[in-house]
Every structure is written in structure tokens, then in C-alpha cells.
């Protein structure tokens, strides 16, 4: 499920924020005339880099962006074809904040990018989907296996899964960016297997029941792995901590509202994404499945321990060069301040 950027959101995002304090001379109760003025405050602009196209996983961020406008913080998103391009934009200072796959951003940090993760974007919700009769890890040998990119977190989990469960198995890899595009290719018979996000795995089984197998479920098998993140340039953390706190606060509020009122979220997804009738019919069950794994973490998802495990997992699986330290990569200070203000759930 994806869509083009709706004009109603982005129109709001370019409006300046005005703080009205008065409109000319006014008399107080004591007869003293006080001159009041309209003060215009320049909004804080945060340029946000997204990988691939908008899908349901990004809706929470869009809803948070809408709320941030009222606080004088404008988030301007740009969508890149691949995760690596989004990370490169943030590392080069062309964007301030990025979201997406941990392996891509951890690799960039290992290469010198001054970026830190402040919270998870979403929980691990990946699976390996394959055409029947493929059922096991060994069955993937020689199959047409589509991946998002070499640096994608789903690719790293796929490689690790094969190395641990069926070493020596060699699929024929081809790159198709976007989980929804790979799901379409799988249903069209153009590929045999692919890592798929939970949403796309549910769509595949919902639209074409009894034709595909879920060979692995990483949400169940690797629950301690931080596969995504919200990544911020260190300079922005130092110069605009209140703007970053606004992002964290509004994301957590949206995540909590999703958890408390799934029907509201279904309506918001329908408002922000263009869907066909089949997708719309599946949407309530997709949201239910997402909530079952705490897909939108109500407390931010990240801990130092989770960060340490994530670095160790991807280092041991050969996806990262040794040397990264969790305390340098994961900056949870602002998340802690926000949780102190709104409480832990």
C-alpha cells in the first residue's frame, strides 16, 4: 500500500507559524495603555529522509508531522529510491533526520557519519515468503530470491537466517526495491521467494490464499533485534534538541493512539494512502496483526541492551565491521526526557 504525497499535508507544512499576542493599543483595567504586536516566529525546519515509497509503516510519522506544525516544527520529507541513498543524504547534511533499516545506518556510522539513533521507527516485522511447494530453508537453493538492496536490514536477516539454518544454500539474488514491489512480483510469478514486511505477507496470503508459505518469521525469531530506527545528525541533536523532542513526543503520542484506538488508525491510513478495494478490505486485519507485535512501539522501542544486541547480531553475521559501540550509536537521552514527561506504558 503506498501513495503519492497528499497535497493537503504538504500545504500545511509550508505555512509559517504565527504567534498572535495582540493587534494594537489596548487598555488594561488600571487605565494603562499597553502596545501589543503580532510576533512572527520562524519555524524550525527538519528535513526527513525516507527510503522507498510511503506505505502504512510511515503513516505514524505523517500524523506526527501534522501535529508538529502546531508546535512550530515543520518536517519536510523526501523519498529516496533506496535506504542507502537516504542515509547518504543525512550523512552529507542534505537531510537532518532519516528513518529505516538499521544495517544501512550502522554501516554509515561505522564509515564516519555523525548520526545517532533516538528511537525505533517500527518493530521487527519481516518474514520470508515463498511460492508453494517451497517450505524449508534448504528449498531456497537455486530459487529466484528478490531483495531490496545489498545493505537492507531484510537482506542482512535473510543472509543470517540462511547461514544459521541451511549453510551452503545459494539462491539467485536479484534486486527489487520496495517490499510491496517484491510482493507483487511474487504473486505475478516473476520470483520464487523474498523477504516481506508483515503488511505485505498478510496481503499475499489474504489476496492469494493457499499459494504461498511463510518460511521464516523474524518478528517471532528475532524479537530483540532493532531492525529500524529514527536517525538524527549529531549536529541537529546539539542545535535543536527541542525540535527533536517534538518529533519523539508526537511520534509516541501517535503510537499510543494507534494502540488505544485501532479503528481511528484504520481511518487515518485510508485518508493518507490510496488503496484499491482489496487492500481496503484487508486493512483492519493488517492493523490488528501490527498491534499484536507492538509494531509502533509506545515507549520508543530502543534500549541500550537492544542496541548492543543489534550491533552484535549484525557484526557476528558479517554485515558490519567490528568496532561499533552501542553507547555511541544510540542516543536515548531525549527519549528518556519525553518518557519522563508523558510516562512509560
Domain 41-121+227-342 fold: D-Maltodextrin-Binding Protein; domain 2 (3.40.190)
Do the domains at 41-121+227-342 and 126-221 have one common CATH topology?
Answer: yes
Domain 126-221 fold: D-Maltodextrin-Binding Protein; domain 2 (3.40.190)
Residue 197 has pLDDT above 90, yes or no: no
Give me the percent of the chain exceeding a pLDDT of 70: 88
Query: What per-residue confidence (pLDDT) applies to 31?
Result: 46
* Total residues belonging to the chain: 345
- Kindly state the average pLDDT of the residues 139-148: 96
Grid coordinates representing 204 are 499475499
Question: Three-state SS for 331?
Answer: coil
Compute the mean pLDDT over every residue in the chain, rounded to the nearest whole number: 86
Model pTM score: 0.78
Residues in a beta bridge with 194: 129
Give the helix/strand (H/E) hosting 40.
strand 33-41
Residue 25 has pLDDT above 90, yes or no: no
CA–CA separation, 134 and 273 (whole Å): 33
CA 334 to chain centre: 18
Residue 205 has pLDDT above 90, yes or no: no
Of 100, 81, 77, nearest to 153 by C-alpha is 100
CA–CA separation, 331 and 322 (whole Å): 20
CA–CA separation, 331 and 42 (whole Å): 27
Query: What per-residue confidence (pLDDT) applies to 30?
Result: 45
Peptide bond before residue 124 is cis, with ω within 30 degrees of 0: no
Grid coordinates representing 98 are 532519516
Residues in a beta bridge with 222: none
Residue 39 has pLDDT above 60, yes or no: no
- Kindly state the average pLDDT of the residues 24-34: 45
CA–CA separation, 63 and 48 (whole Å): 14
CA–CA separation, 252 and 11 (whole Å): 24
CA–CA separation, 91 and 115 (whole Å): 7
The ranges assigned to domains in the chain are: 41-121+227-342, 126-221
At which residue does the C-alpha cell 533499516 appear? 101
Give the helix/strand (H/E) hosting 148.
none
Of 249, 209, 247, nearest to 231 by C-alpha is 247
Peptide bond before residue 133 is cis, with ω within 30 degrees of 0: yes
- Kindly state the average pLDDT of the residues 42-69: 91
- Kindly state the average pLDDT of the residues 127-151: 94
pLDDT band at 342 (very low <50, low <70, confident <90, very high): very high
- Kindly state the average pLDDT of the residues 50-63: 87
CA–CA separation, 341 and 324 (whole Å): 31
**CA dist list (Å): 234 to 74, 116, 244:** 19, 6, 11
**CA dist list (Å): 136 to 161, 193, 213:** 11, 11, 9
Contacts of 235 (CB under 8 A, 6+ apart): 93, 114
Residue 20 has pLDDT above 70, yes or no: no
CA–CA separation, 171 and 25 (whole Å): 76
Residue 303 has pLDDT above 70, yes or no: yes
Give me the percent of the chain exceeding a pLDDT of 90: 58
CA–CA separation, 321 and 52 (whole Å): 26
Of 242, 250, 198, 240, nearest to 219 by C-alpha is 198
Amino acid at each position: 500500500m503506498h501513495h503519492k504525497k497528499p497535497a493537503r499535508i504538504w500545504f500545511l507544512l509550508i505555512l509559517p507559524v504565527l504567534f498572535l499576542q495582540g493587534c494594537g493599543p489596548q487598555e488594561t483595567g488600571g487605565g494603562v495603555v499597553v502596545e501589543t504586536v503580532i510576533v512572527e516566529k520562524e519555524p524550525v525546519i527538519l528535513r526527513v529522509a525516507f527510503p522507498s515509497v510511503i506505505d502504512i509503516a510511515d503513516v505514524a510519522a505523517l500524523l506526527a508531522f501534522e501535529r508538529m506544525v502546531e508546535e512550530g516544527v515543520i518536517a519536510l520529507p523526501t523519498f529516496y529510491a533506496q535506504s542507502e541513498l537516504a542515509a547518504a543524504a543525512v550523512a552529507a547534511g542534505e537531510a537532518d533526520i532519516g528513518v529505516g533499516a538499521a544495517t544501512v545506518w550502522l554501516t554509515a556510522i561505522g564509515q564516519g557519519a555523525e548520526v545517532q539513533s533516538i528511537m525505533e521507527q517500527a518493530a521487527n516485522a519481516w518474514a520470508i515468503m515463498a511460492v508453494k511447494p517451497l517450505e524449508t530453508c534448504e528449498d531456497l537453493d537455486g530459487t529466484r530470491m528478490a531483495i531490496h538492496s545489498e545493505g537492507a536490514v531484510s537482506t542482512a536477516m535473510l543472509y543470517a537466517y540462511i547461514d544459521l539454518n541451511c549453510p551452503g544454500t545459494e539462491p539467485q539474488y536479484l534486486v527489487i526495491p520496495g517490499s510491496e514491489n517484491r510482493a507483487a512480483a511474487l504473486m505475478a510469478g516473476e520470483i520464487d521467494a523474498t523477504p516481506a514486511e508483515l503488511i505485505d505477507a498478510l496481503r499475499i496470503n489474504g489476496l492469494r490464499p493457499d499459494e504461498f508459505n511463510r518460511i521464516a518469521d523474524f518478528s517471532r525469531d528475532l524479537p530483540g533485534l532493532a531492525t529500524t530506527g529514527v536517525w538524527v545528525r549529531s549536529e541537529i541533536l546539539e542545535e535543536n534538541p527541542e525540535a527533536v523532542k517534538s518529533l519523539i513526543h508526537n511520534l509516541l503520542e501517535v503510537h499510543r493512539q494507534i494502540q488505544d484506538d485501532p479503528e481511528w488508525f484504520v481511518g487515518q491510513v485510508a485518508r493518507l494512502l490510496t488503496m484499491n478495494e482489496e487492500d481496503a478490505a484487508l486493512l483492519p486485519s493488517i492493523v490488528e496483526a501490527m498491534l499484536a507485535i507492538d509494531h509502533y512501539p509506545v515507549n520508543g522501542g530502543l534500549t541500550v541492551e537492544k542496541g548492543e544486541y543489534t550491533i552484535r547480531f549484525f557484526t557476528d553475521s558479517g554485515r558490519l565491521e567490528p568496532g561499533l559501540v552501542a553507547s555511541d550509536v544510540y542516543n536515548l537521552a531525549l527519549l528518556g526526557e519525553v518518557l519522563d514527561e508523558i510516562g512509560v506504558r
